[in-house]
């Protein structure tokens, strides 16, 4: 009987401490505020236990309003240390395209290739292995690649792919333009040839 009573008291205390440990602003409902602006912000959904993007109108609202997914997760999510570990630990996380339907070009660090690669980020959720620029990615994760900070610059495999695609595109455009010009030239030559053949016939009929 006493064991059950102690367990019940412990459970109530744990629930109370857990509730008190949650920042009150994370429990507030999302509000767009007022105004004419459309600022991309994030709010914590207590139902989904995740951060969701929304457009803030610029004025009013409440404190459940964060400028980035990371800020929101660090302030409210119970998985903050898993999704956004400190320092270069983020470089060991697997690439996560997240959810939503955006197509943001971002960089992640590939442990297998020991370099930073491009990927399309969906716009919400995901993890900390996500960087706005390749330089930012390399600065955080370069030590894991075994390259010294003063070493020769790492050549991006994505840049090589982009360059090849650009070359193929330019060559294809040039070939297409040449083909069009050649077709027009042949059409003009053939038309002039037909006009020259018609001139003697017209002169004979007039005479």
Contact between 144 and 91 under an 8 Å Cβ cutoff? The reply is yes
Residue of 95, 118, 94 lying closest to 105 (CA atoms):
118
Q: What is the pLDDT of residues 23-76, one digit of tens each?
A: 899 999 999 999 999 999 999 999 999 999 999 999 999 999 999 999 999 999
First-to-last CA distance in the chain?
A: 132
Domain CATH code at residue 31: 4.10.410.10
Examine residue 186 and state whether it is found in any structural domain, yes or no: no
Q: Residue 50's pLDDT is what?
A: 94
A 10 A CB-CB count for 85 gives 16
What total of structural domains would you count in the chain?
2
Q: Residue 145's pLDDT is what?
A: 63
Q: Residue 45's pLDDT is what?
A: 96
Examine residue 204 and state whether it is found in any structural domain, yes or no: no
Q: In angstroms, what CA-CA distances link 99 with 23, 68, 121?
A: 25, 15, 8
- For residue 31, which phi and psi values (nearest 5 degrees)? -135, 135
Range of the domain at 123: 85-176
Q: Residue 158's pLDDT is what?
A: 75
49 CB-side CA count, 13 A:
6
The low-confidence residues of the chain, meaning pLDDT below 50, are 2, 4-20, 148-149, 152, 164-184, 187-188, 201-207
Identify whether residues 72 and 133 lie together within a single domain: no
Query: pTM of the prediction?
Result: 0.62
Identify whether residues 169 and 89 lie together within a single domain: yes
């Amino acid at each position: 009987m006493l064991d059950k009573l102690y367990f019940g008291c412990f459970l109530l205390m744990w629930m109370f401490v857990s509730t008190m440990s949650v920042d009150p602003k994370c429990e507030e409902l999302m509000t767009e505020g007022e105004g004419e602006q459309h600022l991309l912000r994030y709010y914590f959904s207590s139902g989904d236990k995740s951060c969701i993007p929304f457009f803030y109108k610029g004025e009013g609202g409440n404190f459940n309003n964060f400028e980035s997914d990371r800020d929101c997760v660090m302030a409210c999510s119970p998985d903050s240390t898993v999704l956004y570990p400190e320092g270069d630990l983020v470089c060991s996380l697997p690439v996560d395209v997240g959810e939503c339907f955006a197509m943001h070009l971002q960089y992640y660090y590939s442990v297998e290739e020991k370099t930073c690669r491009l990927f399309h980020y969906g716009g919400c959720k995901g993890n900390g292995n996500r960087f706005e620029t390749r330089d930012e990615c390399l600065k955080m994760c370069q030590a894991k690649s075994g390259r010294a900070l003063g070493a020769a610059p790492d050549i991006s495999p994505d840049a090589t792919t982009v360059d090849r695609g650009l070359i193929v595109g330019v060559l294809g455009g040039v070939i297409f333009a040449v083909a069009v010009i050649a077709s027009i030239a042949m059409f003009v030559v053939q038309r002039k040839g037909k006009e020259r053949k018609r001139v003697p016939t017209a002169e004979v009929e007039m005479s």
